[in-house]
Chain A
Amino acid sequence: MNLFRSEEHLERWLAGRDRGGLTSVDTVCELAHAWYADRLDPGWRPHTLEHNQAILDRLGLIGEFWQLG
């Protein structure tokens, strides 16, 4: 899971491989807060797959690539 300066840099790094999942820094920041904000809570419980899939869906990370299960 990497950051790139631009699409040109990403394509050069891929070197002909298919793209995986691509999104903005804004979205991955929001994703991180939705997924991990409770990580240090004393009452933390594991997220269900459905819970985490709903986070991805809400942020528009949809399609086969983003399916967790």
Chain B
Amino acid sequence: MNATSIAAAEQRIEWDRPARGRVAMFGLIAAEAAIFTIFVVAYLFYVGKSLTGPLPKDVLSVPIFYTICLLSNSLTIHLAAKSLRQGSVRRFGILWLATIALGAAFLYGTATEWHRLIYQEGLTISTNLFGTTYYSLVGLHGFHVIAGLVALSMVMVFTFLGNVRPEHAERVDVLSLYWHFVDTVWIVVFTVVYVIGR
């Protein structure tokens, strides 16, 4: 017996399967979500358990502007992917650049906040439990923003070199899934750190 005779049935079967890139990205997002869940649980469990100051209510200020920057990101990347699907590479490039700029602005916001906390408030990762959980959780999210920005920038470089074409829309879509995830995580982190934990 051989595989050829098994293939005879092929013509009779309609066959449709999910795209592997999309499935794999959802798998990665599930894994990342599990990691974040543990950090969020740790943050919530340790709220109010610091034995020494500074405490969140004394030093944290709500980063509304930079949060808007990061969240509006999801809109620009969605429109960018849509433009590419419709065949407008130029509009895609502009919106993609805007996405990167907004993401970078968010990182700048985090950097200034950390600088203030470290040099003015004297809060580091080893100061107290709040410092440990705060820098770990926000830092873990920031790390994901950086990873996302590296990926987005690579696509940007390819766009400048003229190598991004409408047929790549599916891949851009998969990357944008990751970016939406990073934004969604920020909503959780924001709620936990700046609303519940303060």
Asked if A and B bind, the verdict is no
B contacts, CB < 8 Å to A? none
